[in-house]
Structure 1
Amino acid sequence: MALPNTYSLRVDILDIVFADDDGEEFRPGDVMQGFVRVVLQHKKSFLDIDIKIKGKSVTHWTKDDKSYASTEYFFKDSWILYGEVQGDKSPKTLSPGEHRFPFQYRLPDALLPPIIRKQSGEVSYNVRVKIHRLNDKPAHKVKRQFNIKRDLDLNVVDDILEPVMRESTQTLTSCCCHVGQVTVMVGIDKGGYATGEPIILSGQVEDDDESTDRYDIHAALVQVTTFKSKEGTLTTRDVMITSVMSGHVACEPRRLSNQAIFLPRDLTPCAFQGCSNIALDYELEIKAYLGGSKPVATLSFPIIIGTIPAHRTIQRPQPPPAFSVRPLPASYHGPRPSDIEGQSASSNGLPPSYETVMKEKQTGGPTEDEKERLSVVSGSTPSSPLVQGDMKHYGVF
């Protein structure tokens, strides 16, 4: 029976496998887990197997015959995965077949930037494994890259939802003669966007030159990368996406109405706050053309690209204040709640209670003092038909 292809090779197979092998993306603070897979066709002797995990940023460029370079490590750790035990450096032997050596590593919970690769610098993360052979022979080695994903929440950026407007007025000339002016006004709906969101453009073009009635607006998203070293800096500009919008100046209204430019979902966010030698920014560059090859106006909008879009908060009405009792004025001399509490109806100026009335009925009627109080409360004498009628209505008499 023939062996699988991976076992029929005459060379060693050395591979790094992550526990979640569907993706190579981790977040700061994650625990990376995996194993090193070694497949041998024959028995092999070696010194040890070591592993190194690191993340770093590197810049390098040359200008005017002078070289610039810088390196920053975000983390760098290594250890013996298999072989040396308590200082024992004697040769180790692996039998033919497949061998797995597990590992795990907790990434720093820090402001780790995402990966980026440019001609003048890069941010990279990788796992490297070496099998050190005997007699100083070249080591077997393998390296695997991985990415860091860090969210950039635009909701924590001040004034990110405020619209931004730019305006430019230029004088048009022909053969050294003044022929008119053109004014270009363009605005964007906010100052930052998440990947995949649309940039909404609006604007207006005004031109008092009657020689042309057509305008073209060219929009370009530019990625601005700044590379740094102790000796100097270098800035590069790369156009990521472009869009062209056209119209007629003579038409009314002469406006751009809610033109959308959708951002790619794989844009690198502006999440390089934890990197000292590389900075990443974006600009939306607008150029206006009036029937020629030279722009009559150029406008620039710095924008922030994040991963979590900004949302407008809903202003909910405030609940009414808690009920409060208005204090009695100082000029009030009537009974107060504190005076009434704990007193009987016969001494606080209030009408008699049901028990008092029933007692009066059983004893032959109220006393002279009680009759006087009843007359004060009801506004009539106790023998008045009104009082008698009221009492009968309530079933007392």
Structure 2
Amino acid sequence: MGKVSAFQIQFDGDREVYNSGDVIRGQVRLELQETKQFRGIYMHWKGRAVVTWTEIESRGKSKVTVLYVAGEDYFDHYITIWGKDRSDIDDTKLELPAGQHSLPFQFQLPTRQLPCSFEGTLGYSRYVARAVIDRPWTFDHVTKRAFTVSGIPYDLNKVQNPLAPVYNEDEKTVCCLCCATGPVSVSASTDKRAYLPGETIYISASLDNKSNRSVHSLEAELIQSVNYYARRDGVGSPGYRTTSHVVTSVVTEACGSYGTAHWDRKPMVIPPLPPCNLQGCNFIDIRYYVKFTADVASTPFDVDIMLEIIIGTIPLKGHCYDSLSSDQPGSSGAPPPSYEAAFGIQKEIRDEHDNEYVFGKLVFTPFYTFYRSTSTVQTHRQSAIEKSTTV
């Protein structure tokens, strides 16, 4: 960067999470090795959702790549923090002396409800501040920083039957017809349907193995499934894609041939996650499932059960959260939430306007509502011990 040795955006209090209508305050810190001439320094604030993927289609004897894309802006605003406004047609330059400079700024987020920050495989809902040193007739210096918007609250009180357990069962004959010896039967259930991040899902299950194959393990996985919607070339026929990944899991040994195995309220802690649906975004829909699997030896035909659950941000009124502890002695319900970084999510936030000389925090991890409890650490430790002893 030559004469610019440091260029970064700092938010007051190193705050990571903001709500609709909040005023974001901070400073753009700039260090110059010698006096420089600029037209001005401005900030670009943008909230946007983007979905994109490609598909290969056959056209006669050839194949073509087709782009599916969708996007929407939630805000797109510029503010000048030093010198001339970017819209000023006068290219006269102003001098900024060598040394360290702290240029204060403030920006108010729109008061209307904004979707939660989300970083996915095929799309995102992202909020970014960029500071730009405006230099006419040459490339600009840029620094950028993404931040989390908490999003539209997901109220568990509006969920139908939130305390009802989710139950499913299945069985599968894993041998061919000439040597079938009986099915592998599995049933599984969660203790309820609706949860908060930080809560513990208690999973009960039964395995009745009437086959001559052993069942290596029983495993429950918390699955985040994301539906993406877009249009061909952005304006044509609609399309959709679904991706999923394992957020966390718990696994134990199962049983041998003609045996049984049981889970009685096996705990699995929900880490910091965005709520269901991604309300306010028209192109991304988030769902959560507990996938329970009996891994049958020497065959790809495992027995899988899917249990759909709801993850929200506002606790049930009058409900005592056994897996959460309040700061107030003798109180009931959920304690106040905090915000914690999403585990395992680090996204590059460069875009088509950035070059190799961009400053700032270019890797972003969103923060999500999290109701921390005294039991969370204990449950994590128990799950780690069980995984380490599983064959």
TM-score, L = length of structure 2: 0.69
User: CA 1:197/1:43 → structure 2, altered by over 3 Å: closer, same or farther?
Assistant: same
The match for 2:280 is 274
Query: Aligned partners of 2:286, 2:264: CA distance in 1, in Å?
Result: 30
Query: Aligned partners of 2:173, 2:258: CA distance in 1, in Å?
Result: 21
The match for 2:115 is 113
Query: Aligned partners of 1:83, 1:102: CA distance in 2, in Å?
Result: 13
The match for 1:39 is 31
Query: Aligned partners of 1:41, 1:180: CA distance in 2, in Å?
Result: 78
- Say whether the 8 Å CA contact 2:210–2:259 is kept in structure 1: no
- Structure 1 stretches of 4+ moved >6 Å: 249-253
The match for 2:181 is 179
Query: Aligned partners of 1:229, 1:132: CA distance in 2, in Å?
Result: 35
- Confirm whether residue 16 of structure 1 aligns to residue 9 of structure 2: yes
Deviations 1:166-195 (A, max 9, x none): 111334544534422333221111112222
- Say whether the 8 Å CA contact 1:193–1:310 is kept in structure 2: no
- Say whether the 8 Å CA contact 2:209–2:260 is kept in structure 1: no
Could you say what secondary structure the match of 1:113 adopts? coil
Structure 2: unaligned runs, 5 residues or longer: 57-64, 233-238, 321-391
Query: Aligned partners of 2:210, 2:143: CA distance in 1, in Å?
Result: 67
* % identity of equivalent residues: 30
- Confirm whether residue 149 of structure 1 aligns to residue 141 of structure 2: no
Query: Aligned partners of 2:312, 2:170: CA distance in 1, in Å?
Result: 29
User: CA 1:38/1:296 → structure 2, altered by over 3 Å: closer, same or farther?
Assistant: closer
- Say whether the 8 Å CA contact 1:221–1:284 is kept in structure 2: yes
- What one-letter code is carried by the residue in structure 2 that aligns with 1:17? Q
Query: Aligned partners of 1:88, 1:230: CA distance in 2, in Å?
Result: 38
The match for 1:191 is 193
The match for 1:298 is 304
Give the 5 Å matches for 1:197-216. Answer: 197-209=199-211, 211=212, 216=217
Could you say what secondary structure the match of 1:294 adopts? coil
Match of 2:290 among 272, 276, 284: 284
Give the 5 Å matches for 1:113-132. Answer: 113-132=115-134
- Greater strand share, structure number: 2
Could you say what secondary structure the match of 1:146 adopts? strand
Indicate the larger mover: 42-51 or 114-123: 114-123
- Say whether the 8 Å CA contact 1:225–1:235 is kept in structure 2: yes
The match for 1:230 is 231
- Say whether the 8 Å CA contact 1:222–1:239 is kept in structure 2: yes
Match of 1:101 among 100, 103, 106: 103
User: CA 1:297/1:12 → structure 2, altered by over 3 Å: closer, same or farther?
Assistant: closer
Query: Aligned partners of 2:48, 2:241: CA distance in 1, in Å?
Result: 19
State how many pairs are aligned: 302
User: CA 1:248/1:139 → structure 2, altered by over 3 Å: closer, same or farther?
Assistant: closer
Query: Aligned partners of 1:172, 1:110: CA distance in 2, in Å?
Result: 54
Query: Aligned partners of 2:172, 2:146: CA distance in 1, in Å?
Result: 51
Deviations 1:52-95 (A, max 9, x none): 10111111211112111122111111132222379683332223
The match for 1:61 is 53
Name the Cα RMSD after superposition: 2.8
Query: Aligned partners of 1:178, 1:293: CA distance in 2, in Å?
Result: 13
- Say whether the 8 Å CA contact 1:287–1:295 is kept in structure 2: no
User: CA 1:166/1:48 → structure 2, altered by over 3 Å: closer, same or farther?
Assistant: same
Could you say what secondary structure the match of 1:20 adopts? helix
Between 1 and 2, higher relative CO (CA 8 Å, sep ≥ 6) is seen in: 2
TM-score, L = length of structure 1: 0.68
Deviations 1:151-210 (A, max 9, x none): 43323322111111111133454453442233322111111222222211112223444x
Deviations 1:197-243 (A, max 9, x none): 2211112223444x357563222221111222123111111122222
Indicate the larger mover: 149-158 or 98-107: 149-158
User: CA 1:76/1:256 → structure 2, altered by over 3 Å: closer, same or farther?
Assistant: same
- Say whether the 8 Å CA contact 1:205–1:249 is kept in structure 2: no
The match for 2:374 is none
The match for 1:52 is 44
Query: Aligned partners of 1:141, 1:250: CA distance in 2, in Å?
Result: 64
Deviations 1:289-340 (A, max 9, x none): 34444345221111122234446548xxxxxxxxxxxxxxxxxxxxxxxxxx
Query: Aligned partners of 2:256, 2:98: CA distance in 1, in Å?
Result: 78
Query: Aligned partners of 2:240, 2:34: CA distance in 1, in Å?
Result: 53
Highest CA radius of gyration, 1 or 2? 1
Query: Aligned partners of 2:311, 2:270: CA distance in 1, in Å?
Result: 9
- What one-letter code is carried by the residue in structure 2 that aligns with 1:47? R
Query: Aligned partners of 1:205, 1:149: CA distance in 2, in Å?
Result: 41
Shift of residue 256, structure 1, vs aligned partner = 2.1
Query: Aligned partners of 1:259, 1:228: CA distance in 2, in Å?
Result: 36
Shift of residue 249, structure 1, vs aligned partner = 7.4
Shift of residue 38, structure 1, vs aligned partner = 2.6
The match for 2:337 is none
Query: Aligned partners of 2:301, 2:200: CA distance in 1, in Å?
Result: 25
- Say whether the 8 Å CA contact 2:8–2:29 is kept in structure 1: yes
Structure 1: unaligned runs, 5 residues or longer: 1-8, 315-397
